[in-house]
């Protein structure tokens, strides 16, 4: 039958060829079908119907025969059906393109290169590249939107295809939609692809350049997985001295902080303006502060600039950020450190009128050196909770005072009532609030020896 078809097919009309080809397909006469297809029969629709209904019942040999016929005839729809059923076309493509590369035009080679990348056929891609496919071909997927092969391969996480393209000198500096290869790789978490690009770069100078660029993108895009992998490459390629990661200490995201710390980044370093990462973190909130503390940041580090001596605790107090204050207090921040103007964190909170900060610091045991000032603050804010804290602290200070030990007074004085303190505060509208220092502790006003302001 095959011999007869070869001899007489020229006598058949197109319709007859198609009829015979359909018959051969349905009967499973694949050799005869191949002859008819070579002689011009076109039955892609029938091919698709047959594949949908029968491929699951065919043995591997017959599937291979059909796949070869699909590839040779350029039946892309039929090929997609095979792919959708999990059929691996790469061996067939490699065999066919190796034998028939001279029959492929440039457009065919470039288009098939996209096909190989999309479906993960690196060996078939290599054959096409060896046969002249352009490694920098950009496939038009939308109007004025052309995606380079390298971006396809990175997006598909196909490391073999990335390697094949790099070995054929694909342009690493090309861009797609305004993004570099590195940005695209980080966006798609294509760590292995990024690694292979850097490793295959012949020049050490370029390796340093690409690694620095990739690290910057990983930090900026907050991709800890890629960042970790890039730091491993840095170590493997012995580029730890050449690729400086200390520059990322201030602008890294929270997830990057422990990774950079493990890689040796020191977070207790001043920048050119006399600031340091922990104090800058106060503006970002307590979670970032806690991350720096876990990474070994010194909670008592002080600024070295035009406003010297300021700690992260002082800044948090100034901003009224109680969560940050508590994080720093929990980390044993020094409550009595003074800035260049002699202010402690508590004094800063009072001066900036941050009631919540004052309460947090007093509750944590911050030293109160001037009760007059803090009572004025209580009066201005009418904060009963803070008033209770101040009274409690005042009594405790009296009890522990060495002044009391040297005087013939009871060891514990009764705590002033709320009405007594209120009277003092009201009286301060007409005169200064008397200092409640330890040296004056035995002159505390009581209902028996103090006349209250009648206007209160």
Phi, psi (degrees; rounded to nearest 5) at 378? -60, -45
Q: From CA 4, how far away is CA 171, in angstroms rounded?
A: 53
Structure tokens at 15: 């319709």
Region of 29 on the Ramachandran plot (φ > 0 left; ψ -120 to 50 alpha; else beta): beta
- The Cβ-side half-sphere exposure at 242, using a 13 Å CA radius, reads 16
Domain closes at, from 367, 389, 424: 367
Q: Which two tokens stand for residue 357?
A: 């900060």
CA of 136: how far to CAs of 38, 121, 176, 387, in Å? 33, 17, 12, 73
Query: For residue 172, what pLDDT is reported?
Result: 93
Beta partners for residue 139, in sequence order = 147
Residue 16 and residue 78 in one domain = yes
**In terms of domains, do 413 and 380 share one?**
yes
> Is the Cβ–Cβ distance between 389 and 416 less than 8 Å?
no
pLDDT for 6: 63
DSSP string, 241-276: TTS--GGGTTT--TTHHHHHHHTT--S----TTS--
Q: Tell whether the torsion through CA atoms of 10, 12, 13 and 18 is positive or negative.
A: negative
299 located within any domain: yes
Residue 440 is predicted with a pLDDT of 41
347 in the same domain as 289: yes
The H or E element that residue 123 is part of is helix 122-130
User: Nearest 10 degrees: CA dihedral of 362, 363, 365, 370?
Assistant: 20
In the listed set 31, 66, 87, which residue is the last one of a domain according to the structure? 87
Which tokens is 240 given?
């730890």
CB-count burial class (<10 Å; 0-12, 13-18, 19+) for 28: middle
- Assigned domain for 164 exists: no
In a domain, 104, yes or no: no
Q: State whether 384 and 447 are in the same domain.
A: yes
Q: Are residues 332 and 377 in the same domain?
A: no
At residue 88, the 3 state secondary structure works out as coil
- Confirm whether 30 is domain-assigned: yes
Structure-token pair, residue 145: 């939107």
Residue 17 lies in a domain: yes
pLDDT recorded at residue 2: 63
Looking at the fold, whether 378 and 358 belong to one and the same domain comes out as no
Instruction: Report how many domains make up the chain.
Output: 3
SS3 content of the chain, % helix, strand, coil (to 5): 60, 0, 35
Determine the Cα angle at 305 with ends 301 and 310, to 5°: 40
Tokens 């090309």, residue?
A: 174
Does an H or E element contain 391, and which?
A: helix 384-400
- Asked if residue 121 is part of any domain, the answer here is no
Q: Clarify whether residues 294 and 341 are in a common domain.
A: yes
Looking up tokens 């570099």 gives: 180
* CB-based contact 350:369 (threshold 8 Å): no
Residue 4: its pLDDT value, please?
Answer: 64
Per-residue pLDDT at 71: 84
Residue 225 CA to residue 233 CA, distance in Å, equals 13
Residue 393 belongs to a domain: yes
Q: What is the domain-level CATH number for residue 362?
A: 1.25.40.20
Encode 189-226: b = buried (16+ Cβ within 10 Å), e = exposed: bbbbbbbbbbeebeeeeebbebbbbbbbbbbeeebbeb
The answer as to whether 190 is a domain residue is no
Q: Which pLDDT belongs to residue 411? A: 40
- Same structural domain for residues 362 and 452? no
For the chain, 456 residues long, the average pLDDT of each consecutive 10-residue run is 63 83 86 83 88 82 84 82 82 88 87 91 95 91 76 95 96 92 94 93 91 93 93 92 90 93 94 94 95 97 92 97 97 96 94 92 88 81 80 75 42 48 50 42 39 38
Domain that holds residue 284: 266-367
Do 378 and 427 reside in the same domain of the chain? Answer: yes
In angstroms, the CA 353 to CA 386 distance is 13
Q: Which of 342, 366, 370 is nearest to 437 (CA)?
A: 370
Cβ–Cβ under 8 Å, residues 423 and 456: yes
Identify the pLDDT of residue 377: 83
Of the candidates 310, 337, 335, the one whose C-alpha atom is nearest the C-alpha of residue 325 is: 335
Together in a domain, 399 and 426: yes
- 355 and 380, same domain (yes or no): no
Last residue of a domain, one of 29, 62, 87: 87
Residues 401 and 363 in one domain: no
Are the CB atoms for 165 and 127 separated by under 8 Å? no
| Cβ atoms < 10 Å from Cβ of 229 | 18
* DSSP designation for 339: -
């Amino acid at each position: 039958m095959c011999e007869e078809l070869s001899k007489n097919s020229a006598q058949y009309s197109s319709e007859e060829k198609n009829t015979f080809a359909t018959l051969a397909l349905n009967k499973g006469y694949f050799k005869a079908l191949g002859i008819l297809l070579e002689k011009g029969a076109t039955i892609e629709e029938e091919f698709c119907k047959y594949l949908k209904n029968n491929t699951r019942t065919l043995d591997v040999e017959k599937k291979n025969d059909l796949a070869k016929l699909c590839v040779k005839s350029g039946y892309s729809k039929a090929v997609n059906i095979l792919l959708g059923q999990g059929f691996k076309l790469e061996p067939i493509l490699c065999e066919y393109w190796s034998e028939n590369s001279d029959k492929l035009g440039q457009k065919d080679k470039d288009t098939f290169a996209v096909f190989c990348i999309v479906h993960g056929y690196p060996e078939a891609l290599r054959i096409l590249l060896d046969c002249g496919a352009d490694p920098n071909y950009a496939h038009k997927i939308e109007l004025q939107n052309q995606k380079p092969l390298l971006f396809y391969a990175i997006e598909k996480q196909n490391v073999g295809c990335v390697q094949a393209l790099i070995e054929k000198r694909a342009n690493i500096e090309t861009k797609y939609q305004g993004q570099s290869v590195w940005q695209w790789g980080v966006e798609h978490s294509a760590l292995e692809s990024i690694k292979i690009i850097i490793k295959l770069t012949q020049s050490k100078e370029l390796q340093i350049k690409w690694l620095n660029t990739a690290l910057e993108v990983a930090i900026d895009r907050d991709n800890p997985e890629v960042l970790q992998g890039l730091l491993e490459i840095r170590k493997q390629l012995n580029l730890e001295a050449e690729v400086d990661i200390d520059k990322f200490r201030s602008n890294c995201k929270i997830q990057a902080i422990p990774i950079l710390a493990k890689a040796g980044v020191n977070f207790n370093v001043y920048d050119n303006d006399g600031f340091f990462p922990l104090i800058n973190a106060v503006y970002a909130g307590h979670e970032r502060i806690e991350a720096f503390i876990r990474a070994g940041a010194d909670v008592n580090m002080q600024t070295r600039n035009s406003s010297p001596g300021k700690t992260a605790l002082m800044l948090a107090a100034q901003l009224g950020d109680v969560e940050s204050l508590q994080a720093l207090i929990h980390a044993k921040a020094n409550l009595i450190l003074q800035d260049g103007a002699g202010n402690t964190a508590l004094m800063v909170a009072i001066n900036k009128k941050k009631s919540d900060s004052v309460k947090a610091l007093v509750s944590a045991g911050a030293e109160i050196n001037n009760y007059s000032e803090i009572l004025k603050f209580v009066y201005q804010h009418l904060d009963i909770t803070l008033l209770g804290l101040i009274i409690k602290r005042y009594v405790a200070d009296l009890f522990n005072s060495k002044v009391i030990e040297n005087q013939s007074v009871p060891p514990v004085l009764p705590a002033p009532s709320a009405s007594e303190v209120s009277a003092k505060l009201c009286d301060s509208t007409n005169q200064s609030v008397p200092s409640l220092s330890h040296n004056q502790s035995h002159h505390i006003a009581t209902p028996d020896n103090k006349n209250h302001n009648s206007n209160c």
